[in-house]
Amino acid sequence: MTALLVLEDGRLFKGKSLGERGTVIGEVVFNTSMTGYEEILTDPSYRGQLVTLTYPLVGNYGVNKKDNESYRPHLSGLIIKELCTNPNHWQLKSNLSSYLQDEGIVGITDIDTRALTRHIRKKGCMRGIISSKIMDSQKLLSMINKSKLPGEELVKEVSIKKTSSYPGNGPRLIIMDFGVKYNIIRNLKNLDAEIITVPYNTGAREILNLSPDGILLSNGPGDPRSLPEVVKEIKKLVNNVPIFGICLGHQLLGMALGCSIYKLKFGHHGGNHPVKNLQNYSIKITSQNHGYAIKKDSLVPGVEVTHINLNDGTIEGIKHSKYACFSLQYHPEAGPGPDDSNSIFAYFIDIIKSGGNMRCHLEKILKASS
């Protein structure tokens, strides 16, 4: 069945329907990972986006749900070049097309994803619309022009609604859930941490009343600038307890410390991004999924850059010289992607256990980590 992809600048791609029949609008981004489409589909950070997978063949190992990073897919739509209709894997439970249909995800296949990716790289991220029901491209373009990119509601939609907990014998960690991935929780559970996950808009006083040993600001979707009330609460926490931010959590921590955020031209989405650690000059390959970054010229006294992206020089990590807080723009939990950096979770636990020597210990572990 025919499907259309129309971009807000009028560029048209014609292909075949994938998954649920329907019409969906979102920001078009591309992911350069060669594998891991299950993790990508279920990453809450993709809420509101139409995700293009640059690897040409998708679906060859089907779906098993054990690799999911959340309870369901969160992206608005999927764009691929070629669908494998005969997947094979020992954990196979379903094929990709049936899974998307069951989950109500609209997609398109049989389009030139290379041309689409080159177009986005040249023009920048933009809104798009996929439809397998409306074949009038001008009508679809009009629908895009009447739409707008969502703000805080993206995080609201993916965050948990009430506090949940995971038992452990180690330090008590509070996760502010902006769309936390399962593998972040798995890494912390493997370290025997006691984990309490709270909704994204939980106040600082309520968090401190839980007697945390540390706080993790999770990944999540959308523009961090749409969450000013959250930033206010994080400001109240930075001088009270060690804090570790990941992706959106990194940006929110940066804002809480006084830095500014800007939107990248086409974002970083994939499992092959080189990052340099400025503490020890090591280089690691990282998994990334973000469309915003901290402005270099907005850094305030006390905020130091610890990591940079070697592709474009953007900030990938910060720490504070006074407070026991640090953050990474990339994803150390590796889902999907390389696991070069997942030892940072153990380092965070070490910071907490170091007690009064937090800042000294932070210097030490950032030099040892990626």
- The confidence score (pLDDT) of residue 366 equals 55
Listed by start position, the domains of the chain span 2-149, 154-368
Q: Between β-strands 49-53 and 23-31, what pairing exists: parallel, antiparallel or unpaired?
A: parallel
- The confidence score (pLDDT) of residue 65 equals 85
For the domain with range 2-149, which CATH number is right: 3.50.30.20, 3.40.50.300, 1.10.240.10, 3.40.50.970? 3.50.30.20
Closest CA to 288 of 319, 312, 323, 306: 312
- The confidence score (pLDDT) of residue 361 equals 52
* CATH fold of 154-368: Rossmann fold (3.40.50)
- The confidence score (pLDDT) of residue 367 equals 60
> Tokens 């969906």 belong to which residue?
24
Q: Kindly tell me the sign of the dihedral angle through the C-alpha atoms of 58, 63, 68, 72.
A: positive
What is the C-alpha to C-alpha distance for residues 87 and 283, in angstroms, rounded to an integer?
A: 35
User: What does each of the 370 residues of the chain score in pLDDT, given as a tens digit?
Assistant: 999 999 999 999 999 999 999 999 999 999 999 999 999 999 999 999 999 999 999 999 999 988 999 999 999 999 999 999 999 999 999 999 999 999 999 999 999 999 999 999 999 999 999 999 999 999 999 999 999 877 779 999 999 999 999 999 999 999 999 999 999 999 999 999 999 999 999 999 999 999 999 999 999 999 999 999 999 999 999 999 999 999 999 999 999 999 999 999 999 999 999 999 999 999 999 999 999 999 999 999 999 999 999 999 999 999 999 999 999 999 999 899 999 898 999 999 999 988 745 455 555 555 655 4
Catalytic residues: 247, 331, 333
DSSP notation for 111-137: S-HHHHHHHHHHH--EEEEEESS---H
What is the C-alpha to C-alpha distance for residues 84 and 95, in angstroms, rounded to an integer?
A: 9
What is the C-alpha to C-alpha distance for residues 37 and 40, in angstroms, rounded to an integer?
A: 5
What is the DSSP-derived secondary structure letter of residue 358?
Answer: H
- The confidence score (pLDDT) of residue 356 equals 43
The number of C-alpha atoms within 13 Å of 60 and in the hemisphere containing its C-beta is: 9
Structure pTM?
A: 0.94
Q: Kindly tell me the sign of the dihedral angle through the C-alpha atoms of 199, 204, 205, 209.
A: positive
Same fold, 2-149 and 154-368: no
CB 285 within 8 A of CB 338: yes
Radius of gyration of the chain (CA): 20
- The confidence score (pLDDT) of residue 228 equals 97
- The confidence score (pLDDT) of residue 363 equals 58
13 φ/ψ angles, rounded to the nearest 5 degrees: -125, 130
- The confidence score (pLDDT) of residue 151 equals 77
What is the C-alpha to C-alpha distance for residues 45 and 52, in angstroms, rounded to an integer?
A: 14
Closest CA to 11 of 110, 107, 126, 108: 126
What is the C-alpha to C-alpha distance for residues 226 and 205, in angstroms, rounded to an integer?
A: 22
Q: Determine the angle formed by the axes of helices 228-235 and 248-256, rounding to 10 degrees.
A: 70
